[in-house]
Amino acid sequence: MSGTDLSVVIGGVRFRNPVIAASGTFGYGREYGELVDVSDLGGICTKGLTLEPRSGNAGVRLHETPAGLMNSIGLENPGLPEFLEKELPRLRELGPAVIANLSGSSLESYIEGARLLNDSGVDMIELNISCPNVKAGGMAFGLDAAAAVSVVKPVRYVCSCKPLMVKLSPNAPDIVGVGRACAEAGADALSLVNTFKAMAIDIHKRKPVFDNLYAGLSGPAIRPIAVRMVWELRDEVDIPIVGLGGIGCPEDALEFLLAGAAAVQVGSATFAHPRSMSEIIAGIAEYMRKKGLTRLAELGLERRGPSG
């Protein structure tokens, strides 16, 4: 990788390369320590954190589909105070930039959570206004511009010391409008996409697979839609976009980077192939070397019209 600089700065945070573990799929980093050289990664997003501990949803939580994975975890987490005391010191030692994924069940809980994180050792906050697996809060805030601004603005206000990335929902009828509103409300970056609201029926039991009825769809099935959404937002906001959705190999990541993402996150692929992210980092470096590019910022695509 010598001679190829993969580093990228987002919201003032330097990532040694543009590959970040996606929230909810890499625990708090240490869980993968025996399988992966975690220090290779550009960054790690924590599992969605809430003010109070949550035990998550009952019943089936994961269900595979052709080319996809459905989940209904329900934000199981130890709560922010325990994360900050027990997990964060270990996570910090691993090396990659640390992004805390913040969720809430009410506006007040988002603000209080953001206040705790603002005084902590995390590098960045990823505001999750797009979780389809909780009944209150979560995705409801990410579905339209006004609702998104109602949480981004106060969280921005209390997060005076930390860069704020807002994670968008692909379930919003107008994701471009929501992204633009978040940028205007003070977000330093956008990440997209979270999972698509989906459903599966168990034909043998003749009932829905998930107790919660709906679940979030991730994996290769959603990638082309996520790439399209990154593309649509690239000229609409002047803050960096972090792209994700179905990335499993270097070519997938390059698609997002060429579509306009400054960095990528990898989620479901890690479950099947824990070393995916290391291979993606090496593959991006190899691609750049072959194309004669020395810095990530040189990766770009000639803009053509929709029919081009």
Task: Give the residue numbers marked as catalytic.
Answer: 131
Q: Is 241 helix (H, G, I), strand (E, B) or coil?
A: strand
Nearest to 127 by CA among 172, 66, 189: 189
DSSP 259-302: HT-SEEEE-THHHH-TTHHHHHHHHHHHHHHHHT--BGGG----
The residues, ordered by sequence, that sit 6+ positions from 140 with a Cβ below 8 Å of its Cβ are 147
135-174 residues near ligand FMN, rule: CB under 6 A: 167
Near ligand FMN by CB under 6 A: residue from 42, 113, 179, 245: 245
Question: In angstroms, rounded to a whole number, what is the distance separating the alpha carbons of residues 34 and 26?
Answer: 13
Nearest to 60 by CA among 209, 168, 203, 194: 209
Q: Judged by CB under 6 A, which stretch of 117-125, 149-157, 179-187, 216-224 contacts ligand FMN?
A: 216-224
Q: Does residue 218 interact with ligand FMN by CB under 6 A? A: yes
Which of these segments, 69-77, 137-145, 206-214, 281-289, binds ligand FMN (CB under 6 A)? 69-77
76 DSSP assignment: -
Q: Is 227 in the site for ligand FMN (CB under 6 A)?
A: no
Q: Is 208 helix (H, G, I), strand (E, B) or coil?
A: strand
- The residue among 147 and 293 lying less far from ligand FMN, judged by its C-beta, is 147
Among 6, 13, 20, 25, binds ligand FMN (CB under 6 A): 25
Out of 8, 10, 44, 73, point to the residue binding ligand FMN (CB under 6 A). Answer: 73
Separation CA 99–CA 240 (nearest Å): 15
- The DSSP bridge partners found for residue 21 are 44, 266
Backbone angles phi, psi at 110, to 5 degrees: -65, -45
User: Which of 6, 38, 47, 114 contacts ligand FMN by CB under 6 A?
Assistant: 47
Beta-strand relationship, 201-202 and 207-208: antiparallel
- 68 or 260: whose CB is closer to ligand FMN? 68
Q: Pick from 152, 187, 244, 253: which binds ligand FMN (CB under 6 A)?
A: 244
Using the rule CB under 6 A, is 212 a contact of ligand FMN? no
Q: Does the footprint of ligand FMN cover residue 50 (CB under 6 A)? A: no
100-129 residues near ligand FMN, rule: CB under 6 A: 101, 128
Closest distance between ligand FMN and the C-beta of residue 242, in Å? 10
CA distances (Å), origin 33, targets 22, 131, 221, 239: 16, 27, 28, 32
Q: Is there binding between residue 246 and ligand FMN (CB under 6 A)?
A: yes
Site string for ligand FMN, 250-269 (x = CB under 6 A): ----------------xxxx
- How many residues in the shown chain lie near ligand FMN by CB under 6 A? 27
How many helical (H) and strand (E) elements, i.e. helices and strands, does the chain have?
9, 16
Which residue's beta carbon is nearest to the bound ligand FMN? 24
- Between 149 and 269, name the residue whose CB sits nearer to ligand FMN: 269
- The answer to whether 195 contacts ligand FMN (rule: CB under 6 A) is yes
Greatest Cα pair distance in the chain: 58
Write out the residues near ligand FMN by the rule CB under 6 A.
22-25, 47-48, 69, 71, 73, 75, 101, 128, 131, 167, 194-195, 218-219, 222, 244-247, 266-269
